[in-house]
Structure 1
Amino acid sequence: MTFNPGKDELEGRIRALHTALTARDPNFDTALILGRVNLLYLTNSMQDGLFVLKKDGSAYYFVRRSFERAKQECPLDILYPMLSYRDIPGIISPDFGSTYIEADLVPVSMLERLKKYFSMTAVNPVDGIMMDLRAVKSQFEINLITYSGSLHRRLIDEVIPSLLREGMSEAEFQGEVFNAMMKLGYHGVSRFSLFQTEMVAGQFGFSENSVYPTNFDGPGGMKGMGAASPSAGSMERKLKTGDIVFADIGFGVGGYHSDKTQVYSFGRPPDGEILKIHRACIEVENRCAGRLAAGVKPSAIYEEIMSSLPAALSQGFMGFHQSVSFLGHGIGLHVSELPLIARGFDKPLAENMVIALEPKCGIPGVGTVGVEDTYIVKDGYCECVTGGGKDIITV
């Protein structure tokens, strides 16, 4: 398994960015990339630095820390050391003209520092262009996501059932799951493009805690340790017979993620009504997957599914206290990417987009049930890399 993109792969990504920018704006002059994940995508090195792409297609990666590491990781001949932005005008012109930046990432204070050294006739957002490029994966990226999915299945099907024991806290469970993930080869962090989103390894909850109100924009809930740490498991809530265990986990290798959710029932099988609702979520996932193919509009899938939900999902679907307005999301270097399977996303799906479908339902006094799996969009069909929706597993 190759975990690092080669020179040709990276050069192709830079060319694609240049092509997209020139097609979008004939006055485009300069693009500046400072976000670590986008730097990884374009250079294979997440340093404290600045990637510059000019209208003639020339690229530069100015690195403050660590230049030595950047030389080890980036195979491109675009690296330049710098101590501060004032070093850059000695290499390229400080006249940046119509400039594109990551408007969702770059704070005003940093933009003002850049303007101190470089003249910009206009400042435009590059975020949407980058996300559109990253939405369609190369074979290198598909290979990593597929590998992540295979390890993810082992974690969900084989490892987690062996970890559950009566009396353990949610926090203990989360810690042991994280340790097991690392042993399998997890890259150690779940990255989200959502603003100020923190996540240790996923969403975990025992029964009623999995419908607890949360600031995370997803259908599940999580109580956490309290107000200061709502995304870590509770120390007080202990596992007992009859509990529903909700595990929504973003696994990943080499920077690329897969997403999968599994529900377990501890000590005895779930009640029939709980199982009925869970199986209705599986039905929705299968129906969504049946429509997931190149050329299909995400909005059309969403409207079709939401207009004909199973009766069992009439309450609590896609969130108990506050439902979310999507059925799935793109996934790659971030767990949350484009496109969304949601209203308003009318651009047709393209081959080698990767989508996580996650129909879930919150049940009062019981918890969140449902499923999530990662799919690769193909011509006329899709391919699941995480195994597909499963019944609640009794442990």
Structure 2
Amino acid sequence: MPRNTQHHLTPREELYGRIRRFQERLRAAGVDLALIIQNADLFYFSGTCQDAHLMIPAQGEPLMMVRKSYERALKESALDRVTQLKNLAAVRSGIEKYFKGSSRVGLEMDVLPANLFFRYKELLKPMEVVDVSEEIRKTRMIKSPYEIDRLKDSARLSTEMFSQVPSFLRVGMSEVELAGRIEQYMRERGHQGALRVRAFNQEAHMGHLMSGWTAACPSFFNGPTGGAGLNPSFPQSAGYKKIGRNEPIVVDYATVVNGYISDHTRIFSFGQVSDKLTLAHNISLEIKRFFMREAKPGSDGKDLYYSAYQMVQKAGLSEQYMGFGSGVNFVGHGTGLELDELPVIARNHHIILQPGMAFALEPKFVFPNEGAVGIEDTLVVTETGLEQLTGHDDSIQIL
């Protein structure tokens, strides 16, 4: 029977702890006040994503001005100062009234559309407008115990779903039929149905479900796999292809519960897959074991990436690693309220692991006309190493 997932309102002490950490970064950057608008950031700092402007000064109490719905924002947010916003001009008057002396105002320039940026820039003159997106992302990069608990909630649902996949599968069913069964199972148990991606034009489905050659079908999505999709307007994930025997079935789903995303991939097959696909999958498992053994606070993500890549080279699988032809240069991506948070474990990213970081490790191999293999698990950096949140047997599941 479907179970209800407990609904969480973000506690007041959690919100103010996040705000204090962000304020430290604002002071270090010489920014007087940040204006938060984007939904994921707004939810992170206020506990609501109603239509609002959240003003966070470098020192002092934040103020949230809500256009719609003010009544819901009052119920959902534990912030002390929440007022109604009648029009955009009131944003400037709010800054002038409550935060006198503000001269450098920070905006989320990595996500703010250009037309809105110019509008805010004109509205705030003669105040200087600066970018605080990096300060926001680095604040959000370190998860609190409360956030890790929410990631564990998400990971538990994902693990439950994977235990059910064999009962959903049958030879000859279409990919989209299997996707529908998986998604119904998760929606009934608390998956909110939509996930957030920060990067421009990186629309994301609940998951990528692919079988055989469709897992090697290239896509715009910034990941190792894409999938054929149902049509060119959304060219990723499940399509109409029928699932056959002796081909890898890739079930790659991002589960979102109470806003927090766990990312998780397992491979299934009706009968054995080819020896080269089995070898590649085993290399994925070796990379995961390497990370679980060697990744600790103080480790450099770039060094970890290259150590894993050396294992790939030794196996002669460089061409297939993380996508064929147009592969990606990362093996792990941060996750939380968005699917593409920091840290990134990548070729060109020096990132020192710290306790509280959460990321999805996804070593995968793509073979044209044959499919993809590999695993993905959501991990958290602890004081002593990595803790795996997602579960289920990570070998190729032969049905």
Rounded Cα–Cα distance in structure 1 between residues aligned with 2:348 and 2:216? 27
Rounded Cα–Cα distance in structure 2 between residues aligned with 1:83 and 1:69? 16
Rounded Cα–Cα distance in structure 2 between residues aligned with 1:120 and 1:338? 33
Query: Which runs of 5 or more residues in structure 1 are unaligned?
Result: none
Amino acid of the residue matched to residue 340 of structure 1? Answer: V
Q: Which residue of 2 aligns with 1:286?
A: 289
CA shift for structure 1 position 104: 1.3
1:201 to 2:212 alignment:
no
1:44 to 2:47 alignment:
yes
Mean CA deviation greater in 240-249 or 138-147: 240-249
Alignment of 1:1-395 (within 5 A): 3-25=8-30, 28-93=31-96, 96-156=102-162, 158-235=163-240, 237-266=241-270, 268-309=271-312, 310-387=314-391, 390-395=394-399
CA shift for structure 1 position 116: 4.1
Rounded Cα–Cα distance in structure 2 between residues aligned with 1:93 and 1:287? 54
CA shift for structure 1 position 220: 1.4
Task: Go from structure 1 to structure 2 and tell me whether the alpha carbon gap of 1:219 and 1:89 turns closer, same or farther (over 3 Å shift).
Answer: closer
Whether contact under 8 Å (2:226, 2:237) holds in the other structure is: no
Aligned residues: 390
Amino acid of the residue matched to residue 150 of structure 2? Answer: L
Rounded Cα–Cα distance in structure 2 between residues aligned with 1:389 and 1:21? 44
TM-score normalised to the size of structure 1?
0.94
Amino acid of the residue matched to residue 133 of structure 1? Answer: T
Whether contact under 8 Å (2:137, 2:341) holds in the other structure is: yes
Whether contact under 8 Å (2:319, 2:325) holds in the other structure is: no
Whether contact under 8 Å (2:26, 2:33) holds in the other structure is: no
Rounded Cα–Cα distance in structure 1 between residues aligned with 2:150 and 2:179? 24
Whether contact under 8 Å (2:109, 2:117) holds in the other structure is: no
Mean CA deviation greater in 15-24 or 53-62: 53-62
Give secondary structure in 1 for the equivalent of 2:54.
strand
Query: Which runs of 5 or more residues in structure 2 are unaligned?
Result: 1-5
Whether contact under 8 Å (1:280, 1:312) holds in the other structure is: no
Mean CA deviation greater in 197-206 or 307-316: 307-316
Cα-Cα RMSD = 1.8
Task: Go from structure 1 to structure 2 and tell me whether the alpha carbon gap of 1:356 and 1:389 turns closer, same or farther (over 3 Å shift).
Answer: farther
Whether contact under 8 Å (1:373, 1:389) holds in the other structure is: no
TM-score normalised to the size of structure 2?
0.93
Give secondary structure in 2 for the equivalent of 1:192.
coil
Rounded Cα–Cα distance in structure 2 between residues aligned with 1:388 and 1:292? 21
Rounded Cα–Cα distance in structure 2 between residues aligned with 1:275 and 1:344? 29
Amino acid of the residue matched to residue 311 of structure 1? Answer: A
Give secondary structure in 2 for the equivalent of 1:315.
helix
Give secondary structure in 1 for the equivalent of 2:188.
helix
Give secondary structure in 2 for the equivalent of 1:171.
helix
Task: Go from structure 1 to structure 2 and tell me whether the alpha carbon gap of 1:272 and 1:232 turns closer, same or farther (over 3 Å shift).
Answer: closer
Q: Deviations over 1:101-157 (max 9, x none)?
A: 00011122212332343224322211111111111100100111112112211111x
Give secondary structure in 1 for the equivalent of 2:365.
strand
Rounded Cα–Cα distance in structure 2 between residues aligned with 1:366 and 1:354? 32
Task: Go from structure 1 to structure 2 and tell me whether the alpha carbon gap of 1:170 and 1:2 turns closer, same or farther (over 3 Å shift).
Answer: closer
CA shift for structure 1 position 2: 6.7
Amino acid of the residue matched to residue 59 of structure 2? Answer: D
Mean CA deviation greater in 197-206 or 30-39: 197-206
Give secondary structure in 1 for the equivalent of 2:320.
coil
Rounded Cα–Cα distance in structure 1 between residues aligned with 2:110 and 2:94? 27
Task: Go from structure 1 to structure 2 and tell me whether the alpha carbon gap of 1:298 and 1:120 turns closer, same or farther (over 3 Å shift).
Answer: farther
Whether contact under 8 Å (1:96, 1:120) holds in the other structure is: no
Give secondary structure in 1 for the equivalent of 2:172.
coil
